[in-house]
Structure 1
Amino acid sequence: MTTVADLSGFRTQRLTLGAGERTWTVLGRDHRVVGPAEEYLEYLRVQKVSPNTVKSYARGLALWWQYLDAFGLVWDGVTLEDFGAFLTWLRTGEDPQVAALVPGKARFGESTITVRLRAVLSCYEFHRLNGVDVGRDLHRLVHGGGGRYKPMLEHIARRKGRRQTVIRVRQQHAAAPPVLTPRQIDRICDACAVWDPAVGEWRGSVRDRLLWALLAETGLRLGEALGLQHRDWHTGRGDTPFIEVVPREHPHRVRAKGGCYRKLYISDELDRFYGEYLWQLCDVGADLAVANLDDWYVFVNLDREPRFAPWKPDSVYDLVDRLRHQLAGQVPDGWTPHWFRHSHATALLLSGVPMHVVSRRLGHADVQTTMNTYAHVTEDAELRAVADWTKLTAGWRAATDAAQIGPC
């Protein structure tokens, strides 16, 4: 099964493989797969790279082959000058030999251009390492000198010099990730379900409220939350409750990014709320409809068919759209599920939790990713104003995470 993503020139195309896996490739004007691009994309698939990464790289390679086709270039006969002209073409869409009298609107932002160029350079590096005579002038050997920083044991590991990319794109400083305040999180949760003391039960969708409470307290990605199964939720029995993030296949292709297992301790309050949700699931017959509830998904369809099927990300975003409309003026208009993750990380850092602990809790493969994303969290008074997270951070046992979470 295939779906065309872009009908102009060389293009990306979505493929659904026999096992139901979704991936992307690059097609030419003749509707055939572009061989060199597909070889590299297949290498990424074998390496279990995220389908979204494959899609992004396929888009970059489709643009590159559009550029080669537009200017009559051969993929394995390009020069360093051609790569520089590619950057101009990405920015303007014009012939690099033509100087426009009035600068036009940029086609892509610099961050997008960086991603597209990285895909092309990585593809050429792949083919160079496989013996194809391409890309030799895209890098240069750099031997340390002067006062420049050199990694530890550089003198041993880099006797022949380091390979450094010649072509670079200046990256703009990323804006601070958006966050939700505790009050805004409460409003989103309350819009889904509230406790009615008069009758002693919850009114509304406990499932919806559980999702937002879980994202806020754990910093899970939406795909990780939707991939949770009941066996991953370890209810407290006199000890600290926790959940496990386990990489596994999902019917809707959500996944644990990076393919890494991790263990996250949660509060007793969140654990009790999960118990309420589980009781409601059994009350409506989920335990009878599903062969084994223990290895079934926590978040499932309740109001539409097929009932008790795993909840789709698209359905969650439908819920987000409804909540945005319902809470207009009370919460930021453009909030998304990922904002809960940024809010969680910001809360931990403002509470003084060490950076490496936050990195582990978020599931980052490298603490540098955490540092780059949340470098803005400083002594800024405005950020301190959102640091009232006592009720959310109580019971997180971040210090315990440091000792219990295994390396990614």
Structure 2
Amino acid sequence: MARAQRMRFPDRPDSYTVVDDTGLPVLPAHEFLRFLRDQDRSPNTVRGYARGLGYWWTLLEHVGDEWDQFPVSRFGDFLTYLRYGDLPGVTRLSERERWLAESSVATYSAAVLALYTFHADAHHLIEPYERLYSARRTQRWASPYKGFLDGVGPHRDHRRPLYRTRLPNQSATPVLDPAQVVAILDDCAVQTDTGWTGGPVGLRDRLMMAVLAETGMRLGETLSLRHSDFHITGGVTPSIDIVGRDDHPHGLRAKTGARRIYIGDDLAALYTEYVWMLVQMCADVLVENLDSHFVFVNLVRGQQFAPMRVETVYARVDQVRRHHPDTVPADWSPHWLRHTHATALLLNGTPPHVVMRRLGHQDVQTTLSTYGWVTEDAQMRSLSQWKNYVAGWRGIHDT
């Protein structure tokens, strides 16, 4: 069975490839994924495409097709496999249940289509490409809407995929209410008379979730923070600088340009508690230059004080899900905190262009397109404590 495989390097960020059941790289997929890395595509994109290609090669191995010789119907089998987990020839006695969400189906199928587009352009491997794309040209004036592969790679002769996936309409971004955010923070750590519950790891994770919730940062931006990015002394308003970086050893990067986000005193105090904890663990001695080092680091598992992986964050997310099945949505992710941050600001009456700058959007239209529904939703406006939730945040008033 083929699968996505992480590749670790001593001198550059981790990446991904596809290996077969013997552990050897699948060369056509490996070459395409290397092309994506050379094009500076996001590590998350490379990882997602590697997973999709792993599923594709698993299907090909199951039916005995060569990667460049398969019937047109095979891609339809692939979509069925992604949706329900059923390989061709498998008979299910019970009712089929959904395996992957349609958003994942779209991503993984886009990976396969982009693979064959790449090989058609790079190696003139036209035959399999033409099996997957309609021979009919799409008139530019026919529709104002883009196909789901637009932006992934060039379409030869303006063709479109023969099999197309459609994502369900989403009128609203997923958000957490203030009580759910508090439940997530408290599950990580709570301060008592004897210290923080959950120990150093709990305090670190509470700070991380609090930064996500109060600043609206992306997870990659948060895990890329250095201690020098925090400004909480000298009588100035506490703030965090977001600096455009792509040097995280695990492939994370800050997605947008530099910006400064002002924070409340409670978050600044929580960061101070965390730094003192690091000092008690001798981080200032064991780390060559703590001020320029990553804020969120390994404390118990792995190499001590090495930068955290995304997988560590999601392990905490899974723990919160298990502890609060009736309080926190089962499918919540760290990015929901960014959506919640924007929602809280808008419901508090913050001008959209201020929200735009805080989130790091390139223009206000992006903010309005993503969150414009918030101020029109009566149920969202009726949820209690939004004003109390943002009361301690700084820099949200236009000056």
* Aligned mate of 1:249, from 239, 247, 250: 247
Distance in 2 separating the partners of 1:279 and 1:392: 27
Report the alpha carbon displacement of residue 389 of structure 1 after superposing the two structures with TM. 3.1
Number of aligned residue pairs: give it: 377
- Seen in structure 2, the aligned counterparts of structure 1 residues 63 and 202 have a Cα distance that, compared at 3 Å, is closer
Distance in 1 separating the partners of 2:38 and 2:67: 24
1:298 is the counterpart of 2:295: yes
Distance in 1 separating the partners of 2:315 and 2:165: 37
Provide the residue aligned with 2:150 in structure 1: none
1:60 is the counterpart of 2:52: yes
Structure 2 counterpart SS, 1:170: coil
**1:90-140 residue CA offsets vs partner (Å, 9 max, x unmatched):** 4563549x9999974455443332222101111111122224132246154
Residue 227 of structure 1 contacts residue 254 of structure 1 at CA under 8 Å; is this kept in 2? Answer: no
Provide the residue aligned with 1:229 in structure 2: 226
Structure 2 counterpart SS, 1:291: coil
1:181 is the counterpart of 2:173: no
Q: Which has the larger radius of gyration?
A: 1
1:36 is the counterpart of 2:28: yes
Aligned-residue sequence identity (percent) comes to 40
Distance in 2 separating the partners of 1:356 and 1:166: 41
Provide the residue aligned with 2:37 in structure 1: 45
Residue 207 of structure 1 contacts residue 299 of structure 1 at CA under 8 Å; is this kept in 2? Answer: yes
Q: Which amino acid aligns with 2:241?
A: E
Provide the residue aligned with 1:343 in structure 2: 340
Report the alpha carbon displacement of residue 346 of structure 1 after superposing the two structures with TM. 1.8
Structure 2 counterpart SS, 1:14: strand
- Seen in structure 2, the aligned counterparts of structure 1 residues 384 and 229 have a Cα distance that, compared at 3 Å, is same
Provide the residue aligned with 1:385 in structure 2: 382
- Seen in structure 2, the aligned counterparts of structure 1 residues 390 and 124 have a Cα distance that, compared at 3 Å, is same
Distance in 1 separating the partners of 2:184 and 2:218: 17
Structure 1 counterpart SS, 2:137: strand
Q: Which amino acid aligns with 1:340?
A: L
Distance in 2 separating the partners of 1:325 and 1:78: 43
Residue 128 of structure 1 contacts residue 136 of structure 1 at CA under 8 Å; is this kept in 2? Answer: no
Provide the residue aligned with 2:358 in structure 1: 361
Distance in 2 separating the partners of 1:202 and 1:388: 28
RMSD of the alignment, in Å?
4.3
- Seen in structure 2, the aligned counterparts of structure 1 residues 36 and 91 have a Cα distance that, compared at 3 Å, is same
Question: Structure 1 or 2: larger strand share?
Answer: 1
Distance in 2 separating the partners of 1:302 and 1:11: 30
**1:28-76 residue CA offsets vs partner (Å, 9 max, x unmatched):** 4565432221111111111232333222212222332333444454433
1:149 is the counterpart of 2:144: yes
Distance in 2 separating the partners of 1:393 and 1:170: 37
Residue 18 of structure 2 contacts residue 29 of structure 2 at CA under 8 Å; is this kept in 1? Answer: yes
- Seen in structure 2, the aligned counterparts of structure 1 residues 387 and 367 have a Cα distance that, compared at 3 Å, is farther
Distance in 1 separating the partners of 2:310 and 2:215: 18
Distance in 2 separating the partners of 1:188 and 1:150: 39
Residue 245 of structure 1 contacts residue 256 of structure 1 at CA under 8 Å; is this kept in 2? Answer: no
Provide the residue aligned with 1:129 in structure 2: 121
Provide the residue aligned with 1:263 in structure 2: 259
Unmatched 5+ stretches in structure 1: 1-7, 152-159, 404-408
For residues 271-350 of structure 1, the aligned pairs below 5 Å read 271-279=268-276, 281-282=278-279, 285-300=282-297, 308-311=305-308, 336-350=333-347
**1:216-258 residue CA offsets vs partner (Å, 9 max, x unmatched):** 111223443233111111336555443223324335x262354
* Aligned mate of 1:114, from 106, 121, 126: 106
